[in-house]
């Protein structure tokens, strides 16, 4: 496919690398061919780069697949996931899932992202329910403007929550920013 046909969210192969389009800007001047400036994420390394290609440049469209799997346990250097239908297990290196580990609880259903047989990573839901294991007690009179306190959830992740949240409560946490999103 031509590089000018790419849209945000598309996946493509270019020079052996697999990319996801984050943004595209088509620039045409009177004296020059159209130039496509593509802001893309390398799906293997996670690096975000900008590519500039002329309008005649072709890229190969890539089709990725998702498979629902359950998170089982941490085996040291790897996280183990299982397909509930076939009971097949796969391992993904912890170094590739540092941010996602903050939101993974045992038996959580998540989507594993594949390109052909290659595992690229996981896709988390927009928010997850996590139980608070430790938080400071609220102090009366600390309500000048949207007072927050630090809480630790069951995965060890720390975030700011409103004063009315107590130990043992289950809250919703946004997986993109790591912020409090409400009570579960």
CATH number of 65-123: 2.40.50.140
Kindly report the pTM of this predicted structure. 0.73
pLDDT digits (tens, 9 = 90+) for 33-62: 889 999 999 988 888 999 999 988 999 999
Span 158-175, average pLDDT: 89
Question: What pLDDT does residue 143 have?
Answer: 59
**How many angstroms separate the CA atoms of 79 and 101, rounded?**
9
154/147: higher pLDDT: 154
**Assigned CATH topology for domain 127-183:** OB fold (Dihydrolipoamide Acetyltransferase, E2P) (2.40.50)
DSSP string, 104-145: --TT-EEEEEEETTEEEEEE--SEEEEEEEEEPPP-TT--SS
Question: What pLDDT does residue 20 have?
Answer: 92
Question: What pLDDT does residue 137 have?
Answer: 79
**How many angstroms separate the CA atoms of 74 and 89, rounded?**
13
- For 34-64, list the strands marked E by DSSP: 35-42, 48-54, 60-61
Question: What pLDDT does residue 119 have?
Answer: 87
pLDDT digits (tens, 9 = 90+) for 100-126: 888 888 888 899 988 988 888 888 888
- What are the extents of the domains in the chain? 3-61, 65-123, 127-183
Answer CATH for 3-61 from 3.40.50.620, 2.40.50.1070, 2.30.30.30, 3.30.420.40 = 2.30.30.30
What percentage of the chain carries pLDDT values higher than 90? 38
Mean per-residue pLDDT over the chain, rounded: 88
Asked if domains 65-123 and 127-183 share a fold, the reply is: yes
pLDDT digits (tens, 9 = 90+) for 171-184: 999 988 888 888 88
Confidence of residue 142 (pLDDT cuts 50, 70, 90): low
């Amino acid at each position: 496919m031509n590089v000018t046909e790419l849209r945000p969210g598309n996946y493509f192969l270019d020079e052996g690398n697999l990319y996801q389009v984050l943004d595209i800007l088509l620039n045409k001047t009177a004296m020059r061919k159209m130039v496509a400036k593509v802001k893309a994420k390398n799906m293997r390394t996670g690096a975000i780069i900008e590519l500039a290609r002329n309008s005649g440049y072709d890229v190969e469209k890539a089709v990725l697949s998702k498979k629902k799997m359950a998170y089982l346990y941490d085996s040291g250097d790897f996280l183990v996931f299982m397909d509930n239908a076939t009971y097949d297990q796969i391992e993904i290196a912890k170094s590739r899932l540092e941010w996602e580990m903050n939101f993974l609880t045992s038996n959580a259903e998540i989507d594993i992202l594949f390109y052909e047989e290659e595992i690229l990573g996981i896709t988390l839901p927009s928010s997850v329910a996590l139980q608070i294991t430790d938080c400071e007690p609220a102090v009366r009179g600390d309500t000048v403007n949207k007072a927050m306190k630090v809480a630790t959830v069951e995965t060890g992740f720390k975030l700011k929550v409103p004063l009315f949240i107590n130990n043992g409560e289950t809250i919703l946490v946004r997986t993109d920013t790591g912020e409090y999103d409400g009570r579960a």
